[in-house]
Amino acid sequence: MTLLDVENLHVYYGQIHALKGITLHVDQGEIVTLIGANGAGKSTTLKTISGLLRPREGRITLSGLDLAALPAHEVVAKGVVQVPEGRRIFGQLTVHENLSMGAYTRTERDGIDGDLERIFTLFPRLKERRAQVAGTLSGGEQQMLAIGRALMSQPKVLLLDEPSMGLAPVLVEQIFETITGINQLGTTVLLVEQNAFMALQIARRGYVLQTGEIALSGSAKELQANAEVRKAYLGG
Amino acid sequence: MAATLVAARIQRNWLQRLSVIDIFLWAFRVAVLAAVVVGTFRTLYSGRYAGEVWIDFVVFGVSQGSVYALIALGYTMVYGILRMINFAHGDIFMCGAYTAYYAASALYRAGVFNRQPLLSLAIILAVAITASTSVALLVERVAYRPLRRAPRLVPLISAIGASFFIEYAVRGLYGSGFQAYPEFEVFKGKWNFFGIGILRTQAVVIAATVILMGLLYLFVMRTKTGTAMRAVSEDREVAALMGINVDRVIVITFAVGAAAAGAAGVLYALVFKQVHFFMGFYPGIKAFTAAVLGGIGNIPGAMLGGLFLGLFESVGPILVLDGLGIVAPYQLKDVIAFTMLVMVLIFRPSGILGERLAGKKA
């Protein structure tokens, strides 16, 4: 069943035509990855889905519900949340305050407290540091916090923008394991990555983005085997 | 290669690195410091002022500083979120005081004013806060929100325009004269605290400020909306990605800052007992100075900055200038305030508590 559906998306930065008709879909329960070089339009796609950028043309729907016309803060309430590139946690807020901001759109006290406990089980480090100012966390911990913060909104679809960026290889592996874990608990994931090798290992399907267009799509296995993909993104 | 260059630069004689500007700035520092030390010493040595006088000046400074601090909160909160100086803020303060004047005189004529002073004060405060908040929200909607994506200088110019607009609108509506505020009988004279006589109005100003500051601090630090305000001031885009309605938070910020300014307007009128269409200008600029002094964007900084400025302004003239043989030093209190602004901008642009802000920009 298709959960998130993006059709013929055109986005401009002023005169620059950044996305030239992107069409993709994410089914319920999947991990789908969007790979491509720097500047191909991966982040732009996520920002448009999140409502930070307005498409000039095209449709974005979540189980049939139109998202393209909504402002960013309402998209979250509908169940699509993004972990932005470079983590961008609120450095001067405590870990606990960061997480509570993730649950900003929710009002049920009990549900929020329950989710907080779940996130602390998923990331015990965050529990230890819940009263600490988030800017003092290490890079890996900040990435955990960014993911935890997004999960606090109870998303149907989690958009992840380059979660491995700037992290040590050990941590990268850990973050990807976490993403798989979150997915197994029922959250659908759309993952943007430069680290195509890791992304294709955990994803079911993938899209290859090139200068604002989908150049290639298919199951993760197909893409891993594809000669062009191997050459361009997997190092031979 | 690069490392050796750096090392060579460090090893170069400090005299060679000294520029004309450095020399000037050091001379300026030394001159100000010398003036302060010599003036203070001579004043204290002459023994012209008794202990009681000092206490009066300190209490007056603290109460004046309280008003500055309350106004400064609005500057600093709006700056924290929009990176913009709301130069109409002083006039928003004036609107609160001016509207409260009408409420106060109506209560006075009805004879309620002195029979129920606490109730009257509460009503006046409520009227002032409502008026200031309404004006601020209108200004935000009309003069700032349409310019949200414009370069930073544009809303600043718009703010100066809004400031003039409010001043001359009030002048057109109510005239250019001073309006005398009715006085509370109960607040006349002094109260004795542990043998120290304090003017009642000033005690009320200080107490009200402490309460308001406490409430505001709890609001910003403990409530969900307050946390959202801090989140928006750190990263507006990500705040929106978390589902925070950024425009709404900005409106709340303006409203809270304006409410503090409205309350400050009433307190100011309690002490000075008159209102005037231009009365927002100097307190506004002073409060801006206080906000910069404390580190703009930083809420405890604004509180501290206001207090410091009020104290320096009140104690400074007789402590320093009198000792330097300057006649009628009290007329130069504005000079002290603005010299402090210039010195903060030159020597410590991040202000007293502004470390965090400086780090954030880097």
pLDDT over 90 for what percent of chain B?
47
pLDDT of residue B232: 95
Is it the case that residue A201 has pLDDT exceeding 70? Answer: yes
**CB proximity A97 to B under 8 Å:** yes
Q: Helices B89-109 and B153-174: crossing angle, nearest 10°?
A: 20
B33-52 tens-digit pLDDT: 888 888 888 888 887 777 77
Calculate the average pLDDT of chain B.
Answer: 86
**CB proximity A50 to B under 8 Å:** yes
**CB proximity A88 to B under 8 Å:** yes
**Alpha carbon distances (Å) from A36 to A21, A85, A188:** 16, 15, 21
The alpha-carbon gap from B298 to the nearest alpha carbon of chain A, in Å, equals 12
Q: Is B205 helix (H, G, I), strand (E, B) or coil?
A: helix
B236-263 tens-digit pLDDT: 999 999 999 999 999 999 999 999 999 9
Is it the case that residue B18 has pLDDT exceeding 80? Answer: no
**B243–A77 C-beta distance less than 8 A:** yes
SS3 content of chain B, % helix, strand, coil (to 5): 75, 5, 20
**A149–B241 C-beta distance less than 8 A:** no
Is it the case that residue B127 has pLDDT exceeding 90? Answer: yes
Is it the case that residue A90 has pLDDT exceeding 90? Answer: yes
Per-residue confidence at B56, pLDDT binned at 50, 70, 90? confident
CA gap B210, B208 in Å, rounded: 5
Per-residue confidence at B193, pLDDT binned at 50, 70, 90? confident
CA gap B59, B190 in Å, rounded: 12
CA gap B76, B71 in Å, rounded: 9
Q: Could you tell me the two tokens for A202?
A: 């955990």
pLDDT of residue B297: 84
Best mutation target among B148, B235, B242, B250 (most A Cβ atoms within 10 Å) is B242
B224 versus B28: the higher-pLDDT residue is: B224
Residues of B in contact with A105 (CB under 8 A): 242-243
**B237–A73 C-beta distance less than 8 A:** no
Q: Which of A84, A91, A92 minimises the CB distance to B241? A: A84
Mean pLDDT of A166-192: 93
Is it the case that residue A20 has pLDDT exceeding 70? Answer: yes
A37-86 tens-digit pLDDT: 888 899 999 999 999 999 999 999 999 999 998 999 999 999 999 999 99
Q: Which of B228, B237, B356 minimises the CB distance to A101? A: B228
Mean pLDDT of B72-87: 91
Residues 181-200 of A with CB under 8 A from B: none
Query: Could you name the CATH architecture of A2-89+157-234?
Result: 3-Layer(aba) Sandwich (3.40)
**B228–A76 C-beta distance less than 8 A:** no
CA gap B260, B268 in Å, rounded: 12
Mean pLDDT of B114-138: 92
Residue of A nearest to B236 (CA): A90
**B231–A90 C-beta distance less than 8 A:** yes
Q: Taking Cα atoms as reference points, which of B293, B306, B212, B248 lies closest to residue B81? A: B248
Q: Which of A82-91, B3-12, B14-23, B203-212 is the least confident region?
A: B3-12
Residue of A nearest to B244 (CA): A73
Is it the case that residue B358 has pLDDT exceeding 60? Answer: no
> Which pairs with CB-CB distance under 8 Å and at least 24 residues apart come from B154-159?
B155/B82, B155/B84, B156/B84, B156/B85, B156/B87, B159/B84, B159/B85, B159/B86, B159/B87, B159/B88
Q: Which of B38-42, B122-126, B159-163, B320-324 is the least confident region?
A: B320-324
Is it the case that residue B362 has pLDDT exceeding 50? Answer: no
User: How many CA atoms lie less than 13 Å away from A76 in the CB half-sphere?
Assistant: 26
The alpha-carbon gap from B241 to the nearest alpha carbon of chain A, in Å, equals 6
**B356–A101 C-beta distance less than 8 A:** no
Kindly list the domain boundaries of chain B, sorted by start residue: 70-299
The alpha-carbon gap from A68 to the nearest alpha carbon of chain B, in Å, equals 15
Is it the case that residue A109 has pLDDT exceeding 50? Answer: yes
Measured at the alpha carbon of residue A198, what is the angle toward residues A84 and A186, in degrees to the nearest 5?
A: 65
| Rg of chain B, C-alpha, whole Å | 23
ipTM over 0.90: yes
A112-153 tens-digit pLDDT: 999 999 999 999 999 999 999 999 999 899 999 999 999 999
B197-207 tens-digit pLDDT: 888 888 889 99
pLDDT of residue B11: 57
